[in-house]
Amino acid sequence: MAKSFSSAIYLDANATEPLRPEAREATMAALEQGGNPSSVHAVGRAARALLEDARKCVARFADRSAECCVFTSGGTEADTLAIHALGHSIGRQVLIGATEHDAVRKAAPEAGIVPVDEQGIVKLDVLRTMLDQVPSALVCIMAANNETGVCAPLEDVAAICREKGALLHIDAVQSAGRLCLSQEAMAGASIALSGHKLGGPKGAGALLLPDDAPLSPLLPGGGQERGRRGGTPALPAIMGMAAALEASQTQDWDKIAQWRDDVQQRAQDVEAEIVAANVTRLPNTLNLILPGVSSQTQLMMLDLEGFCVSSGSACSSGKVSASHVLQAMGFREQAGQALRISLPWNVTEEEVVAFAEAYQRMAKRLKK
Amino acid sequence: MRILVAMSGGVDSSVVAALLKRQGHEVIGATLQLYEQNGPARPGACCAGRDIMDARSVADRMGFPHYVIDAESRFRDSVIESFADSYARGETPVPCVACNQGVKFTDLLGLARELGCEAMATGHYVRRVEGSQGVEMHRPVDQERDQTWFLFATTREQLDYLRFPLGEMPTKEHVRVLAEEFGLDVAAKRDSQDICFVTNGSYAKLVEAMRPEIEGPGDIVDEQGVVLGRHEGVARYTVGQSRRLGDIHTATGERQVVVRIDAAQRKIVVGPRHKLTSEGKPCKIVLRDMNWLIDAPPEGVVCGVQLRARESLRIARVIPREGTRHAEVHLDAPALAAPGQACVLYDGTRVLGGGFILAEGR
């Protein structure tokens, strides 16, 4: 399969996965199909049928009925809708993990923050204490962190939420398609998904709700999505998302995890520090700290050599800031010296080896 | 060669980048994010000001990579805070010199070296000349645009690595024409004015907000301590100025100028201009943090000195002191030198060095 990203070596899958061929095919089919799923005529009905097929497919991710799935424009909207509809709009207090994505943090600026330990794992005893104060809170925890790949102890979090009577919202944007989430952890939770992080096109996401009860929409519009999200659904992107989700189920992530571990070893050889090395991480994600060298310098240097990697969160100007995720884990100046490598579904061994060598060269040159 | 271009988003540095790209160099564009361009009052607003967008669009159009470098905290500490400190001492600082010296020619230049660049280019109007004794800094062809005064603190090592392609431009018009030829959107962009980080138009208000101890009115006194009038805040004055002194010119029957600023006592000391500028004795000024662009001559050097950004040269003998860290400037004629400002030494078009003017008695 041809690479979608010029001649550069693309190791930034957590920013966006390359388009999967299955997703491309489904997207193209929907573009050819045309029609508005809300129309009553034949063309509209045909579009509607495709949309509902996609809905069933996406809902299956959490073993839900299709009615529980609300399509959105992406992960950010899914998280924002969950916090609005299941939290703020019904007067429910919101608690979020300290390393959540900005999609969650900015949607709940007043939220209580559940701290994480130095490995990035949410502190369960603190969560329990916080829920003693606000038992009916909406608790937002990401299944896996976008910067470190650290996987949350979701089953434990879910059990605590059930015990206290809290509602759980899982940001599964990074973990979906890469990690098997247990149905036990997801039971009763709302779940945010993003199409392009699965290898679909950009522009589609989904919120899987605990049930099909009505909710207060962010966009009332024409009452689409059973009144839960107005606006004509982006059918081509949604079809691509469903196809990508399905295709990702057969991905050999063990092989990719092995390559990730190889890079990790080569990085350790040049004295890089591995973030959260001792906990369960996404199979494709590696976060490396090169002491004394700013993330910005590392990114520029590798970019100039043709490697696309990432760091912390860049704002829309492209300015690289210290990572709030690493800061929450207790890193200080090193929070500004980290690099995220996230292997895409179609990475090759040659690419991984080439990167490891480039990283070693860079480290030897810049290390202070 | 691989060359990093410091891009402000203005027409000058944009043309530099485009020119170097057209000459076949491997250009890397870098824009420093120095301060919150949208103002601090709008949390959540994107930090990408118009200038960053402009620089990026030039890079996209010309086809070279462009990066935004976060230098906010370093700029705050090394430029804005020391700017305020300087006013709080009764001086008149030149923040552009501090910025060129630190954020640009130390930090960004260091990054360029790390990235394996052979040189760093900027859009300054300065000529870099490879002389027989090493690299030299000269005034640009377009005297109207001369920025040598602001770049005197560039070390010889930095100068060796730097490139200033606009030093050879006959006029700014030529630069704009080139920008149009390259199809750059910034061709007609207005030149930046004044101090970049003063976004609300009043540097004095910024200083007073940062150093409230010097905010507020105080006395204007003569050199004997006789109160002649009131002033609006010491940060609004600089040595040598005769504006903002109210009616004391008519009250004393003579044009008065500021001769000293006592920030701690919030006093502005004035004296009659006529006496200070034409009857005075030869005058000595002491400079700190000297940067010599020639081997410092132990016996001193007779040269032209420029005490303000826009001012004609005066003749002086300049003698190194304290090793070469300080220098004494012996002027033939009296001059009102404002502490904190630069005194730059010239031989013809060539910059010999310069330092910051020390307050008397320090």
In a domain, A172, yes or no: yes
Same domain, A52 and A158: yes
Catalytic residues of B: 99, 196
SS3 A102: helix
> How many angstroms separate the CA atoms of A351 and A13, rounded?
14
Distances from the Cα of A277 to the Cα of A111, A261, B287, B336, angstroms: 29, 10, 55, 65
Same domain, A149 and A212: yes
Mean pLDDT of B329-358: 94
The confidence band for A113, taking pLDDT boundaries of 50, 70 and 90, is very high
Of the partner residues A303, A320, A321, the one whose CB lies closest to the CB of residue B65:
A303
Same domain, A242 and A285: no
Which CATH number fits the domain that encloses residue A151? 3.40.640.10
Of the partner residues B52, B67, B70, the one whose CB lies closest to the CB of residue A321:
B70
B263-267: long-range contacts, CB 8 A cutoff, minimum separation 24: B263/B87, B263/B88, B263/B89, B263/B90, B263/B214, B263/B234, B264/B90, B265/B218, B266/B214, B266/B216, B266/B217, B266/B218, B266/B219, B266/B234, B267/B218, B267/B219, B267/B220, B267/B221, B267/B234
pTM (predicted TM-score) = 0.89
Same domain, A39 and A188: yes
Q: Which residue did the predictor score with more confidence, A97 or B51?
A: A97
In a domain, A40, yes or no: yes
pLDDT digits (tens, 9 = 90+) for A271-291: 999 999 999 999 999 999 999
* Percentage of the residues of chain B whose pLDDT score is greater than 70: 94
Q: Report the mean per-residue pLDDT for chain B.
A: 91
Same domain, A237 and A270: no
Same domain, A154 and A211: yes
Q: Give yes or no for residue A5 having a pLDDT over 70.
A: no
pLDDT attached to residue A144: 98
Same domain, A160 and A303: no
Chain A residues in contact with B68 by the CB 8 A cut-off are 317-320
> How many angstroms separate the CA atoms of A175 and A173, rounded?
6
> How many angstroms separate the CA atoms of B325 and A249, rounded?
69
Chain B residues in contact with A366 by the CB 8 A cut-off are 114
A315 catalytic per annotation: yes
Q: What is the location of CATH 3.40.50.620 in chain B? A: 2-188
- The residues facing B163 across adjacent strands are B121
What is the value of ipTM here, to two decimals?
Answer: 0.86
Asked if B70 lies within 8 A of A296 by C-beta distance, the reply is: yes
Chain A residues in contact with B46 by the CB 8 A cut-off are 315-317
Mean pLDDT of B211-220: 94
Least confident of A235-239, A314-318, B53-57: A314-318
Asked if A301 lies within 8 A of B115 by C-beta distance, the reply is: yes
Contacts of B52 (CB under 8 A, 6+ apart): A317, A318, B9, B31, B33, B37, B68
**Annotated active-site residue in A68, A180, A308, A315:** A315
Domain, as residue range, for A99: 21-248
Task: List the single residue in A with minimal CA-CA distance to B29.
Answer: A300
pLDDT digits (tens, 9 = 90+) for B189-206: 888 777 888 877 789 999
Q: Which residue did the predictor score with more confidence, B33 or B18?
A: B18
pLDDT attached to residue B361: 53
Task: List the single residue in B with minimal CA-CA distance to A314.
Answer: B68
Q: Which residue did the predictor score with more confidence, B60 or B281?
A: B60
Asked if A304 lies within 8 A of B47 by C-beta distance, the reply is: no
> How many angstroms separate the CA atoms of B21 and B323, rounded?
43
Same domain, A212 and A229: yes
Same domain, A235 and A177: yes
Of 3.40.30.10, 2.40.30.10, 2.20.25.90, 2.60.40.420, the CATH number of B281-357 is: 2.40.30.10
Mean pLDDT of B81-103: 94
Q: Give yes or no for residue B263 having a pLDDT over 70.
A: yes
Q: From chain A, which residues contact B within 8 Å (Cβ)?
A: 106, 296-297, 299-301, 303-304, 315-321, 365-366
pLDDT digits (tens, 9 = 90+) for B139-149: 999 999 999 99
pLDDT attached to residue B278: 64
pLDDT digits (tens, 9 = 90+) for B291-342: 999 999 999 999 999 999 988 999 999 999 999 999 999 998 888 899 999 9
Asked if B115 lies within 8 A of A300 by C-beta distance, the reply is: yes
Same domain, A231 and A259: no
Chain A residues in contact with B52 by the CB 8 A cut-off are 317-318
Asked if A366 lies within 8 A of B114 by C-beta distance, the reply is: yes
- How remote is the C-alpha of A110 from its chain's centroid? 22
Which CATH number fits the domain that encloses residue A324? 3.90.1150.10
Q: Please name which of A102, A147, A138, A140 lies closest in space to residue A120, comparing C-alpha atoms.
A: A147
Instruction: Tally Cβ neighbours within 10 Å of residue B253.
Output: 7
Least confident of A147-156, A295-304, B196-205, B256-265: B196-205
The domain boundary, picked from A218, A248, A278, lies at A248
Mean pLDDT of B10-19: 96
Q: Give yes or no for residue B42 having a pLDDT over 90.
A: no
Q: What are phi and psi of B291, to 5 degrees?
A: -120, 115
Same domain, A31 and A91: yes
The confidence band for B40, taking pLDDT boundaries of 50, 70 and 90, is very low
The domain boundary, picked from A248, A269, A289, lies at A248
Highest mean pLDDT out of A72-86, B235-249, B265-279 = A72-86
pLDDT attached to residue A313: 61
The domain boundary, picked from A220, A248, A276, lies at A248
pLDDT attached to residue A188: 94
pLDDT digits (tens, 9 = 90+) for A236-267: 999 999 999 999 999 999 999 999 999 999 99
Protein fold of B2-188:
Rossmann fold (3.40.50)
Same domain, A14 and A25: no
pLDDT digits (tens, 9 = 90+) for A182-191: 999 999 999 9
Task: List the single residue in B with minimal CA-CA distance to A319.
Answer: B68
Q: Compute the count of residue pairs across chains A and B with CB atoms less than 8 Å apart.
A: 48
> How many angstroms separate the CA atoms of B343 and B137, rounded?
16
Q: Give yes or no for residue A38 having a pLDDT over 50.
A: yes
In a domain, A3, yes or no: no
Q: What is the location of CATH 2.30.30 in chain B? A: 216-277
Q: From chain B, which residues contact A within 8 Å (Cβ)?
A: 28, 33, 44, 46-49, 52, 56, 65-70, 111, 114-115
> How many angstroms separate the CA atoms of B208 and A165, rounded?
54
Does the B216-277 domain belong in CATH 1.10.287? Answer: no
Q: What is the location of CATH 2.40.30.10 in chain B? A: 281-357
Total number of domains constituting chain A: 2
